[in-house]
Structure 1
Amino acid sequence: MRVRTIPVTAGVSALLLTGCGAADMTKQASPFAGAQGAGTVTLSVQSWVGAQANVGVAQYLLEHELGYRVDTVQVDEVPAWDALSQGRVDAILEDWGHPDQEKRYVRDKKTIVAGGGLGVTGHIGWYVPTYFARQHPDVTDWKNLNKYAGRLRTAESGGKGQLLDGSPSYVTNDKALVGNLKLDYQVVFAGSEAAQITQMKQFAKEQKPFLTYWYSPQWLFKKVPMTEVKLPAYKEGCDADTAKVACAYPHTPLQKYLNTDFAKNGGRAAAFLKKFRWTTEDQNEVSLMIANDKMSAQDAAKKWVDSHPSTWRAWLS
């Protein structure tokens, strides 16, 4: 869904990759990816904190319960599929829907297999802070957004209302939506999830209105309550032509994917990752510890593991 890289705790040695699909992951990889019989696993980790929470818990359990050596590789969403196909990473634990990649690698090349659902449903949408929605309830209908464009104007939006996005490389239809719905808004990219959060928290601190692209699950809702703006209802296929899209984003059950060889020969590690499945509340609990409490991914994972044995023990059976 979202793709930029930021520092994450790595199991052994982190390979740092940046850019919007520019990295050639067929030539770069963790030294442990695809290792046969060596008790090693390499996990792809994306920049958003929910993905870091998944990997943190999976890494902790692989290392402390199953005795594996785990490496994490930071790579953007689409290049991660290339890396997984080539065996440069063994698993992606949170994919927000890439039908072109799925067709290419799962159905056609068969170098990647589905690893099952994560147990979390993702949703992208437009949001305003709840304090602003309570003052102006009609702002939650897209048809009334132009009425508030002046209130939502910033120095970066060029005389129009600002629609704050994260990175241009995230899954986003926002520029097309603004144009096709004839909205007097300018999409402004913060550059990353972290930068977007910083801006939203500052707006909230000052009780200023804002309109933002955002997604759930996400821990920030607990700190900055937000209310979704209702866009035209999503219908199957309404976003098939991204240039003409004029509908809301779908609700997407998040999926895991494994390299085909790893899925067959990865032993207990592959079996564990297929069974790894938790709730939105679980993920948010770990995400909040990482992002808000400034805990390392492994410390947050340990705290969650210590308090949820009945959940994770089922993944090891």
Structure 2
Amino acid sequence: MAELPATLGEALAAARGRIPAGEARMFLREVTGCTAAQVAAYPERGLAAEQAARYVELLDRRAAGEPVAYLLGEREFYGRRFGVSPAVLIPRPETELIVDLVKARIAPEAAPAILDLGTGSGALAVTLALEIPAAWVTAVDLSPTALAVARGNAAALGAQVSFVESDWFAAVGAARFDFIVSNPPYIVDDDPHLAEGDVRFEPRTALASGRSGLDDLTRIAAAAPAFLAPGGWLLMEHGYDQAAAVRVLLQAEGFVAVASARDLAGIERVTLGRYPLRGVDAGARQA
């Protein structure tokens, strides 16, 4: 067994060439409680044996490719810290676009009913509940392990969310919602990226969706009208090259005002449509 680093400086040196320096400093802050300034200014500061051992464990696991979010057990989303584990997809910044799109479509003091399909860590459901305090938020996931993570995040952040174990809409009941949101699996089953980077460690069931990557997007689009209130919105995240196909899916199911929104990288990342108001949108459905 290699000798454990005895100081902050030795710990940083041990990481050189194995992981990025920024990640090494982050791990040191995690195990020691030091600030970034202290790590930089006091390389001679000593490490306790248990701190050094924990740091080396994190270093080795990261060097093997394990995601930082899983190693630290958390990831930021919409300015809040969410607990994560290998049971859930790691929240990503582009998914925050769904929150912005929902907020832009509600009136002040509104109390919308919101359904989050495939909630995973609960990042979307919890964020929407906190950003729209009057909202009634329900979150579903097929995985009981994922739901346990999501419940923990809701409790830690003080969000009122109802959680349901369900295969998409199967156990939702007869409720109708003003918004249905989802970041479903949308990667092609044999996409080589599934064997690269952080994705290797994430649950495959939260990533891959058939030969075209559209299986789950298609299921949600087809079933959503039965669970939307008239005038309600469906918003789904999808792959960088799937926006046109998802717009066709929504239009085929009778949605109106169908559009795709771009993330901060300029990629069409979320496609949305409104369930028609009877009579009001008749012309739009025929157009």
TM score, norm. by length of structure 2: 0.27
TM score, norm. by length of structure 1: 0.25
**Which structure is higher in RCO with an 8 Å CA cutoff and minimum separation 6?**
1
